[in-house]
Structure formats: structure tokens, C-alpha cells
Amino acid sequence: MSFEHVSVMLEETIDLLGVKPGGVYVDGTLGGGGHTGEILRRLGGTGHVYGIDRDMEALSAAKSRLQEYPNFTAIHGNFHDACSLLCEQGVNGADGFLLDLGVSSHQLDTAERGFSYHVDAPLDMRMDQSASLSAETIVNTWSQSELTHILRDYGEEKWAARIASIIVEHRAKAPLRTTGDLVACVDAAIPRAVRNKDKGHSARRTFQALRIAVNDELDPLAATLMEMTRFLQPGGRLVVITFHSLEDRIVKQTMRTMASPCQCPPKIPVCICGRTPQVRLLDHVKPSTAEVEHNSRSHSAMLRGCERLDAVWNLDMPGERR
């Protein structure tokens, strides 16, 4: 199956990134290479682009697609480790980072990857198929309280406790092996009358929660954004596309903290904590009506960005500079 993925807000994202000839840019979620290809086109043979992805299928597809560009390097890894991966390549600073969070169209449409609740397939959901933890492992071995926690916190599922209870009852008789087994548990837990009123498939929140847990998508995100910003050259930009409220909230709050880090009480007229802004915020952008009509999966997307200021670091973060 060929690797197909439609890049969301392609022009808007690269415009916000502010690509400059000769710059060093990093696509931390390479995917099929759509965004990276546009960065390379705008660089016009100058500078360099590093593309990182934990999905080997994505890396292979991007390498093939972008083989005409000698100033492109593909790296297998997690964008959470982007700065250390770049250091291993001899890179000690960047002019821009791009993150397109969420699941690629290819991953959703490849049934055996287990991301979709529409097709019965193995319960996998690993973005990096060399990783050991899968959705099957979680639903069959994690405790009922742990399952309730991830369904509630990562899926914002009101029926989290009931779904977790049904999963535990099911696996006591036979392990859950397929996406169909999981959908059946959700259907058994949520009354039909409630499911009929749901605007989408009632299993979508459970699948989102498990995918986030399998791939550890949220917990390292804030620290990663701060580390990437520290790695930027002054004037460099970090742009991020999110697809659900949980990750967007983290991105928005982290960028706001870096833009306005003062922790003085509101009644104090002059800042005395000495914390200075590290970035300036850029405009946030949503996909156009035309794009949503063309690509329905873009409807929940949000593009945010910030630009590194030429300032000393004084946030309480690992590796801070003063």
C-alpha cells in the first residue's frame, strides 16, 4: 500500500514557519514529506532540512519522495528526542521546527495498524512498530483503574469507568485481540440511546485515549516544546499543528508561558521575579472552509506558532541558561 497523506494547511504552515534561504529546518513529524517538500522547495537548494519520524514506513516513503534533494536528511526517532537526535548529526541550532501532531492518513487507512474503529483489525496503534507497547497490551494487562484514568483523561470519555469495567469483564473470558473486540466493549458499556445521540462514532474517544497512551503523546509535549525553543536561533520559529483539545491546550499554554513567564502576584505594579519573555506569539490559524470540504480530517486542526527572542533563558527548565 502506498503512503498517502494530505498535508494540512500546507501553505499557511510554511508561511508561518518563515523559511529563509540557507536556514536549518526540522520537521519533527515527517510523515509523507509534504510539509518538508515545500520547505525544501522554498530553500531553493540552500540550507538543510532534517525530517524525523518514528514510523519506518513514513521514513521510507519520504526518502523516496524527496530523493532529489541532497540537502535533506531523514532520521528515525521520536520528535520528543529531536534536539539530541540533531546533536548526533552535528547540528547545534535550528532556524525552525515544525510539528504536525496526530495520526497520518496512511496510518488511519492501513487497517492492520489498528488506529481505526471502522475496520476490524489487530489492536496495535503503535506509530513506531519497533516499540513494545501496543493497545492490545494495555487493554489486556493494565488495571481497571488505569484504564479508567486514560479513557477519562486522554479521551475525555464520560463513560470511562463503565467501559473499563466491561473491558476487564471481557478479557476475563477471552483476551481482546482486535479493534472489533474493543468497539464491542464500548457498545456494551454505553447505552444505545446515548450512542444514537453521539455526533460521531462512540468508540472514537476510547481509540484516541489508547492511541495517546500507546505512543506517549501528551506527557513529554510541553518539555519538548521548551527544549526545541531553546535550540532555536534568535528569530527562529516553532510551529505546531494540533488536532484535538488536549494537545492544543498544552501547546497554547506552553507558548503563552514562554511569551509571558512573569510569576509576580497580579497586584504588584512592577515585575520583580526577573523572568523575561523567551518568544513572541504568532497568529493562530484554522483551515479554510475549502480545505475542510476537500479534507474532512482537517476540520479540528489548529496551527500555532512562536518566534524565539534574543533573550537569556530564565525559566525553571532543565538546561536553562542565565
Summarize pLDDT for 9-25 with one digit per residue, the tens.
999 999 999 999 999 99
Residue 126 contacts residue 110 (beta carbons within 8 Å): no
What mean pLDDT comes out for the span 74-93?
97
pLDDT (0 to 100) of residue 104: 78
Average pLDDT, the chain: 92
pLDDT (0 to 100) of residue 2: 52
Residue 164 contacts residue 147 (beta carbons within 8 Å): yes
Residue 108: pLDDT band with limits 50, 70, 90? confident
Task: Report the alpha-carbon angle 45-47-53, nearest 5.
Answer: 100
Distances (CA, A) of 54 to 89, 131, 210, 231, 282: 17, 9, 18, 21, 28
- b/e 88-114 (16+ beta carbons within 10 angstroms → b): eeebeebbbbbbbbbbbbbbbbbeebb
Domain residue ranges of the chain, discontinuous segments joined by +:
10-102+218-308, 111-215
The pTM score is 0.90
Could you give the residue ranges of the DSSP H alpha helices within 263-314? 289-294
Residue 53 belongs to what H/E stretch? strand 48-53
Pairing between β-strand 232-242 and β-strand 94-100 as defined by DSSP bridges: parallel
Whole-number Å distance between alpha carbons of 147 and 165: 9
What mean pLDDT comes out for the span 67-92?
97
CATH topology of domain 10-102+218-308: Rossmann fold (3.40.50)
Pairing between β-strand 24-27 and β-strand 302-308 as defined by DSSP bridges: unpaired
* Burial label, 266 (beta-carbon count in 10 A; 0-12, 13-18, 19+): exposed
**pLDDT tens string 201-211:** 999 999 999 99
CATH superfamily of 111-215: Putative methyltransferase TM0872, insert domain (1.10.150.170)
**pLDDT tens string 147-190:** 999 999 999 999 999 999 999 999 999 999 999 999 999 999 99
> Which of 24-38, 95-109, 208-222, 275-289 bottoms out in mean pLDDT, i.e. has the lowest?
95-109
Residue 119 contacts residue 179 (beta carbons within 8 Å): yes
